[in-house]
A and B are shown apart, each in its own frame.
Chain A
Amino acid sequence: MPSMRLSHFEAAFLFALFTSVVLGIVTKRNDRDRFHYGVYTFACFLVALFGLGWLMYFGHG
């Protein structure tokens, strides 16, 4: 089986993508809302990813 070596950012990006798709599908009741919720969740993941990254950067001093 091929192996995969991802950076933390790549792994977190993929994680956010897969999770957002499923959350969008199972949460809302019509396709438009599902799409919007999926995009919103994905954006939240990315904001948290960059936010926490910068927080850790400044926390290290």
Chain B
Amino acid sequence: MGSNLATPVTPAVLPPASLLHSKKMANEQEQKQPAPPLSAWVPAVALGWLIPGGGHLLLRRTGRGLLLLVTITAMFLCGLMMRGTMFQPQSGDLLTTLINTGGFIGDLCSGILYLLASWLGYNQPDMAGAVHDYGTKFLVTAGLLNLLAIVDAYEIAAGRKE
């Protein structure tokens, strides 16, 4: 009886210590993943900003790149045709600064679409009306969706995603 008590009791459901150790090592390796070199991801990110889906096209993800290009461009054009307003950064109270600066960054994320619209003189004043308001939201959302596409292109270029 005494010898039985001295034996350590290990429940069958617990994983062996070596498995726990290897999982811990894998987590540490994942956390300490080195930053990818600039040359690997900067061209994809820059082209992805300038042309929606361009990063994916550069990385030879043609189908996804074209789908992103068509979708984001269509959304931006819908926003323009609904006569949405482009945000300009404004200072003032906190809410005004946040909305206008955030909206401006969102618009800017559309890349060449935003630049072309600005250079070609698109300057819609902020008017009352539901359709104009939808247009403004479409313009900002097109930029934000392009931002998601840029992050995806970065992850592919950095080897973190296929």
A interface residue numbers (CB < 8 A to B) = 1-6, 8, 11, 14-15, 18-19, 21-23, 25-26, 29
Does the CB pair A22–B68 fall under 8 Å? yes
Question: Are A4's CB and B67's CB within 8 A?
Answer: no
A to B contact number (C-beta, < 8 Å): 58
Interface code B82-101, partner A: CB below 8 Å = 1, 0 otherwise?
11000000000000000000
| Total contacting residues, chain B, CB less than 8 A | 26
The answer to whether B148 touches A18, judged by C-beta atoms less than 8 angstroms apart, is no
Known contacts A6-B134, A11-B134, A15-B141, A25 near B149 by CB under 8 Å: yes
6 further A-B contacts with Cβ under 8 Å, apart from A23-B148, A25-B64, A29-B162, are A8-B134, A15-B75, A21-B67, A22-B72, A25-B67, A25-B149
Q: How far is the CA of A23 from the CA of B75 in the complex (A)?
A: 14
Whether a CB of chain A sits under 8 angstroms from the CB of B105 is no
Complex CA gap A22/B83 in Å reads: 23
Q: Do most interface residues of chain B lie in helix, strand or loop, or is the interface mixed?
A: helix
Instruction: Tell me if B14 is interfacial: C-beta within 8 Å of chain A.
Output: no
Q: Are A26 and B81 in contact (CB under 8 A)?
A: no
Q: How far is the CB of B57 from chain A (nearest CB, A)?
A: 13
What distance in Å separates the Cβ of A56 from its nearest Cβ neighbour in chain B? 14
Give the residue among B74, B137, B145, B152 with the most A Cβ atoms within 10 A: B145
Residues of B contacting A29 in the complex (Cβ-Cβ under 8 angstroms):
161-162
CA distance A7 to B71 in the complex (A): 20
The complex places the Cα of A21 from the Cα of B146 at a distance, in Å, of 12
Shortest A9–chain B CB gap in Å is: 11
Min CB distance B54 to A, Å, is: 14
The contact string, 1 if C-beta is below 8 Å from chain A, for chain B 26-67, is 000000000000000000000000000000000000001001
- B138 is an interface residue with CB less than 8 A from chain A: yes
Contact B149 A26 (CB under 8 A): yes
Which residues on A sit within 8 Å (CB–CB) of B151? 26
